[in-house]
Amino acid sequence: MPRRPWRTCHPRTVTTPRTPERRRPPQEPVVNGLLLVAAMAVIMWVVEVADQIDNGRLERHGIVPRSPDGLEGIAFAPFLHAGWDHLIGNTLPFLVLGAGIALAGVARVAVVTLVVAVVGGFGTWLVAPADTVHIGASGIVFGYAGYLIARGLFSRRLAQIGLGLVVVAIWGTTLLNGLAPADRISWQGHLFGAVGGVVAARVLDRRADKAQRGDKPPLGIPA
């Protein structure tokens, strides 16, 4: 009987159309960063309204040096203020300096704020006089200023150096006065907040250097 011809089967490769990834607009991280800064400022005002209604009782949740219970103030103190004048005085520089950091994206704002709050708050808790309560966003403000000034020195990028010089020109005298010991002023919070800003600038600058060399930074933290 005749032989049947061989038939070879060539498997067909079925290509599934890939759904194109949605690329975020370049301005989206900046907008989100600005929104985060604005949201933190709004929380400060809402907390102050609640504090006024509660006759200032929320202020006891600030940083109480070397008291175990006072450690909670590291998280709460930046949102607590001793009246409207204190809050108003902190709001404008917080928004302006925070916006300067937000130009690098929302993650940068979050990381810098966290580092400044922890370093500044814990330093205040260790060094400030006992039986005192430290509240206010001024520690974060000094941290933001310290970050913006130090970032340009570490990166040596002209734009960042220029922004740091603008910060010095506008707030330089205020920053120096805020570091001078004075009654009823938490100069310790200002000092360690600024230290936290420098630490954040140094850490993030090193991460940027590693990223440029091809070392991939851990997921979720900006270089």
DSSP secondary structure string, 2-50? PPPPP----PPPPPPPPPPP-PPPTTHHHHHHHHHHHHHHHHHHHHHHH
What is the pLDDT, as a whole number, of residue 90? 97
d(CA 35, CA 204): 22
What is the pLDDT, as a whole number, of residue 213? 58
pLDDT grade for 223, boundaries at 50, 70 and 90: very low
- Which two tokens mark 175? 């920053």
What is the pLDDT, as a whole number, of residue 222? 39
Q: Which domains does the chain have, with CATH numbers?
A: 28-212 (1.20.1540.10)
pTM of the model: 0.83
Contacts of 45 (CB under 8 A, 6+ apart): 87, 91
**What average pLDDT does the segment 176-204 reach?**
94
Residue type, 129: P
